[in-house]
Structure 1
Amino acid sequence: MSLFAWLRPATPALDEDVRRRLAQLPRPTALSVQSLREQRWVVLDLETSGLNLNRDQVLSIGAVAIEDGAIDFSQQFERTLHRPAQKTNPSVLIHGLGPDALAAGCDPGGALLELMEFIGDSPVLAFHAPFDQRMLARALKDSLGYRLQQVFVDVAELAPMLNPDTVLREAGLDDWIARFGLQVGERHHASADAQVTAELALILLSQARRQQLDSPLQLSLRLQQWRRRKTQLHSW
């Protein structure tokens, strides 16, 4: 075996049914010019064992769909993954996923495949989306040998862009929840966090429409402009 072959990550062994389902996953599409109300979005939240993108693991997944301009409560997704080797640490204690819950969790590969079937070709909304995107991408590659291609939009960027007069000290999810008076029964739980992020996203999408941003593509282009201005201001 060559050195390069040894260094290359092993491709996970998948049975025929899993390979068939992976092959049937729809190809993600680019952000469209259809109206924001017509776009189906999936709001995603991951609970992880920590914040290290290279070492920590996805422990639980929560997702909900926004369709026809509203949260579709018939389209919800929640899984705790089987992670029996995960040691209790401060991050695990925050979201309450103890050893018993992780030992009783779902097969990671099966849960991740079901998540991708749930997402379909929809763009994904998440608070601090780059983190969720990279953690999910690594989990999919490790468990299924699958390359994540979905478009992710960061709610943590949309909120300040659409509310330039709002100044928050931390501007975390809790701060925006408080800013708009949203109610959340349980924080740091994937399904509850996905739900409240979806409620926040609906407010922001409504604001976007009032600001003449009425398509996912327009919203994305405005975000790119906002990032460039922010970078220029910080470079002065």
Structure 2
Amino acid sequence: MGKRKDLQALTDLAQQFGVPLVEQVRTWKSPDPAVKLRRQVNRADRRRTRWAYTAAGCSGIAVILALTGGAATAFAVFVVLAVLSAVTSVRAYGRLRVLRREQAALPAVAPARAALPGKSSRAYEPMRRLAGAEASLAELLGQLEHDSKHGAVPAESVAAARATGAEAAAALRAVAARMATLETAVQHTSGANRAELAASVEDLRGQLEAGIDGYGELIAAAGRVVAAGTPAPTHRAVLTEATDHLAGLAAALRELSAS
């Protein structure tokens, strides 16, 4: 926590030199419809799961009360709670199915080419790799979207992978923007302050590398599914696992940029 506060203080110092960090990350704070839809899907899925567990727990307690001769009032309360939770869970599942259909219906859009940092920036090479990775993922997911019509992999898994890739790319660019701010500050400082700022730049570079490695894992998973060609029960699991891993990395990067 102290390290994040220090990083924020250094960023504030960098902004004194006129670097518009807020403008640089504004696009990250305004995700595209695919990213927003994925978040809605995740919320609906969590709600469905939460109420399903609640229904199961209340049902279990009601059964125990019935078997042990518990109070009739308590038994009735838990039966009612189980029914209400089950109904809410079913409704949440219906909402989840609607959102997933909307997600699957989203058109495949090639990622817009974002301007790369200057070649002297430590963020240049990671962002160059990200640009190539985005193009590769878009091509693979386009193929999987075609294959999903023949049952090779569920359409919602392809849509989730696409939305997560876009979200992760936006988070990575936000970190790169913060790096650029600090790099400018390094040029205007000296001594201990310069060393501290330079160390923060390197720390952010490490975060970028980890995020792009995670992006590469999603590409590899999509590539394996494309290479397999024929439907297999493991396809969805392979793609979902890599998608979830990248979503976790994106969340960590967002936290870093917002700290």
TM-score, structure 1 length as denominator? Answer: 0.27
* More strand by percentage: 1
Structure 1 or 2, whichever has the larger Rg, is 2
* More helix by percentage: 2
